[in-house]
Structure 1
Amino acid sequence: MNTDTGEEIPVTILSGSLGAGKTTLLNHLLSNAGDRTLAVLVNDMGEVNVDAELVAEGSELELDDGVAELSNGCICCELQDDLETAVVRLARDRSFDHLVVESSGISEPAPVARLFTTESRVAALYDVDTLVTVLDTPAFLEAFAGEERPERRGDEDDRPLSDLLVEQLEVSNLVLLNKADLCSEAELSEAEELVRALQPDAETIRTEFAAVDPDRLLGADLFNPGHVNDLPGWKRALASADGDHESDGSSDHGHDDHGRDGSGDGDHRGHHHPDEVYGVSSFVYRSRRPFHPERLADFFRDLPRSIVRSKGTAWLANNEMRVSIAQAGPSVRATAQGPWIASLPEVERDMYRSNRPNLEWHDEHGDRRTELVFIGTDYDESTLRAALEDALVTDGEWETDLDGPFPTEQGDEAVIREP
């Protein structure tokens, strides 16, 4: 495809933590581009270290306005300004068939994909082809399934490696299990299981030194803009459990006692809906009774390593914020998303409810509820459910002041557990 034709230019977006093999992959693609002319947009030419044999004679990566002409006709660019400006300028000034974007300053591919798919001057020029995550497979297993040990950090980011990996994986179309030569067959199978649990639709390819057929990444047409927000495995598990909940005739409306035996205010037992994915399963926990904040924090601090991912919204006693909880391996973080609608003044509350006719509403508690998804392997679900039940407030604690580490102001974040 030539940019002079006015057709949209396909884009492959790469992500992966430091040392996973992105630079090796970029060099491999440039060396094996065939008849394609590639433009590779990278964050830092010094970090990328494109193979000197690919660089046009005399350029020696002395960039002219951030662009190096490579000997095979490809273009390599450094991201000197914002991404939107860079890709528009590339399409205007250069002729190429396919754009590969990798920026170490952006930890996961979804924000980049949104730039290319939302209404903008960029979306009119480009078409996202595939979101690719390159995994350092031994490090991935270490973060999620190995023995507990200090984690290595990701690209220019102060979050734990497990956080970065999960965010990259959950929106990927294609995952390269790189450094496969450093893993046993059993370890590679385990890595494939974990990837499928986090993102069921992702294709996986085992690679050594990021050697992969370029056709698997360029022109694969795996990206669907309408599905990017529905890809994560935890969303699938929650949606599936919702369907099970709606079909089984149970209801948590109209109950006015706070019994903890499951016969009172509804479905805090949750609805078991195993999502078997090559030995990895999930379950959803729901409750119409708030948690004691310190006991819930203790629950997540003691969460077994067999739980690789948990995510959802928690109702905390004496906290009018909807608190989202995101656990990835040994990392647990909580964010105050905003107030419960039930806590708003009556006029505002009624307005919100009228605009959301499908909102589940409890006669007494309104929209306050807990919904948490847990994904893992070889865990004892009954033990985890019992521990969650024990973390709920007792009748005597319901209206008392309770302290805990969770945020109480919208937008604030708290680290509940660090690696």
Structure 2
Amino acid sequence: MKTVVVMVAGLGEHRVAERVWRAREGSVLVRHDLGRVADGVVRRWVDGRLTVLELAHGCVSCALRHDLLPLLRELAGRTVVLHLDPAIEPEALCVALPPEEVHVEAVISVVDRETWLADATGEVTLAERGFGVGAGDERTVAQVVVGHVEFADALVLAGDPGDIRTLPVLDRLAPGVPRQELSSVDVDALTAAAGAGRLHDAFGPLLRGVPLEPDGRVSVVHFTDRRPFHPQRLHEALDVLLEGVVRTRGRLWVATRPDTALWLESAGGGLRIGDAGPWLAAVEDWSGVDPERRTMASLDWDPRCGDRGQEIVVIAHEAAPDEIAAALRAALLTDEEIEQGDGPLRAQDPFAREEAS
């Protein structure tokens, strides 16, 4: 019998998890405080009863593996309302939970409109903000609060209206996701929006439901092209995504990586690039490929490039969209560089040097 889980995420003080718990008869309210996880100490409440846990290794993943997962197994057949510590990201937790044992009914994120946009566009790390994280955890507050919204099935808005750009940003970051005011939360409606989170596929659609028209200073840049990026010029152009931008997500084709797509993701002043997996143009056997991806690739197949190409979505709250698009366009290979091949570019690949260091 599976354990049913409703997750409630967000920074700051709120009583949303408690409201969900009281509205769901027979449910269990679980909350972790990871403020001292770096010291190997975790405090956990189950229906208000405190237990202090000592871990051999002080990190968020250890707290999940050695306490939360066994606890959810003990509560099989019950509904568990998880009030997440800010250091726990709901997407990562959903990935870690075994689907054969746990059913995530809904992910609810609480947004403090007075502070959210400043948090989502800053560079402060969780550790600098005073949240409990283990050694080597360099996540920023922006990464976490943007992830809270992007992965949610429903949003609860708290605090005064704050920055007028907040709601237009939320419209683009979580299009179509229902929102309620904290003062009038309807628990049944919140959980009815269930979709077990929004797992992101690096090769899936990036613009599903996102409004492209600007709203005041809030804008969306959808950059696409079938030419590869010059590695050095791309590295330099990435700075344009760190000022006046809330969120960037996208697939990159770098000339020195013809077989592998790179995944670009930024939140506020933090940016990371990772391996997204092979382009289908470099894969001989498609039998194990997701059918939706095969269909999308076939519909947009280029005789020369296959499914390779650039697709980047940028949500900006201050930056000029034309400047972002121009900087990215200038980082593409010229016709002459394409004819020369990737040999001369390998010595100019800062991504390769960063991986080797």
- TM-score, normalised to structure 1, is 0.63
The answer to whether the aligner puts 1:310 opposite 2:310 as a matched pair is: no
Distance, in Å, in 2 between the alignment partners of 1:238 and 1:169 is 16
Distance, in Å, in 2 between the alignment partners of 1:363 and 1:89 is 55
Cα displacement (A) at 1:115: 6.8
- Length, aligned pairs only: 326
Distance, in Å, in 2 between the alignment partners of 1:354 and 1:218 is 32
Q: 2:108 is matched by which residue type in structure 1?
A: V
Aligned to 2:28: 39
Instruction: Encode CA deviations 1:91-130: one digit per residue, 9 max, x unaligned.
Output: 36xxx6x421134386322344467793x1334xxx61x3
Contact 1:335 1:407 in 2 (8 A): no
Matched residue SS, 2:324: helix
The answer to whether the aligner puts 1:88 opposite 2:52 as a matched pair is: no
Contact 2:125 2:139 in 1 (8 A): no
Aligned to 2:91: 110
Cα displacement (A) at 1:284: 1.6
Aligned to 2:38: none
Q: 1:131 is matched by which residue type in structure 2?
A: V
Alignment of 1:157-306 (within 5 A): 157-178=137-158, 180=159, 185-187=161-163, 189-207=164-182, 212=183, 215-216=186-187, 220-225=191-196, 228-229=198-199, 238-239=207-208, 274-276=212-214, 280-303=218-241, 305-306=243-244
Cα displacement (A) at 1:383: 2.5
Contact 1:132 1:217 in 2 (8 A): no
Aligned to 2:267: 328
Instruction: Encode CA deviations 1:13-36: one digit per residue, 9 max, x unaligned.
Output: 02234xx226x555x549x82783
Distance, in Å, in 2 between the alignment partners of 1:117 and 1:192 is 34
The answer to whether the aligner puts 1:401 opposite 2:345 as a matched pair is: yes
Residues 82 and 304 of structure 1: is their aligned pair in 2 closer, same or farther, counting only changes over 3 Å?
closer
Contact 1:322 1:339 in 2 (8 A): yes
Residues 191 and 293 of structure 1: is their aligned pair in 2 closer, same or farther, counting only changes over 3 Å?
same
Distance, in Å, in 1 between the alignment partners of 2:278 and 2:296 is 18
The answer to whether the aligner puts 1:374 opposite 2:314 as a matched pair is: yes
Cα displacement (A) at 1:330: 1.2
Alpha-carbon RMSD across the aligned residues, in angstroms, is: 4.4
Distance, in Å, in 2 between the alignment partners of 1:47 and 1:213 is 32
Cα displacement (A) at 1:309: 1.3
Cα displacement (A) at 1:312: 0.9
Instruction: Encode CA deviations 1:134-189: one digit per residue, 9 max, x unaligned.
Output: 345444222345xx6645546524211111122221111233344x25xxx452x4
Matched residue SS, 2:25: coil
Aligned to 2:58: none
Distance, in Å, in 2 between the alignment partners of 1:238 and 1:35 is 35
Residues 371 and 408 of structure 1: is their aligned pair in 2 closer, same or farther, counting only changes over 3 Å?
farther
5+ residue gaps, structure 1: 1-5, 65-77, 242-272, 415-419
Distance, in Å, in 1 between the alignment partners of 2:290 and 2:118 is 48
Q: 2:345 is matched by which residue type in structure 1?
A: D
Residues 113 and 337 of structure 1: is their aligned pair in 2 closer, same or farther, counting only changes over 3 Å?
closer
Cα displacement (A) at 1:334: 0.4
Distance, in Å, in 2 between the alignment partners of 1:48 and 1:137 is 28
Contact 1:11 1:100 in 2 (8 A): yes
Residues 335 and 150 of structure 1: is their aligned pair in 2 closer, same or farther, counting only changes over 3 Å?
same
- What is the percent sequence identity of the aligned residues? 21
5+ residue gaps, structure 2: 35-40, 54-62
